[in-house]
Amino acid sequence: MKPLFWIGVLSAALGLISFVVPIPHTEREGFSVGGMSMGVTTQRSQIVSPIISAVLIMGGAGMMIAGRNRK
């Protein structure tokens, strides 16, 4: 099969996964004085916007249609 088809499959799969799997994000803020340091680490997870996920799925479907083999 053509590479465009497989790129479309990958894009559609990423779009479907992005509906469910959150993206973790860690931030560290603090300061250090001499040999002592003090800080706070925060962790949060964000889910990708459904609009972006839908665009990935529709774009992947379009690439799969454009890249399919015709006999």
Q: pLDDT tens digits for 46-71? A: 888 899 999 999 999 999 998 887 55
Q: What is the mean pLDDT of the chain?
A: 89
**Chain centroid, CA 32 distance in Å:** 34
Parallel/antiparallel/unpaired status of strands 23-33 and 36-46: antiparallel
% of the chain residues with pLDDT over 90 = 54
Q: How far is CA 14 from CA 20, 40, 47, 49, 54, in A?
A: 10, 33, 13, 13, 10
Work out how many domains the chain is built from and give that number. 1
pLDDT given at position 32 = 87
Instruction: Give the confidence band of 16 by pLDDT, cuts at 50, 70, 90.
Output: very high
CA distance 23 to 38: 27
Question: For residue 59, what are the domain limits?
Answer: 3-67
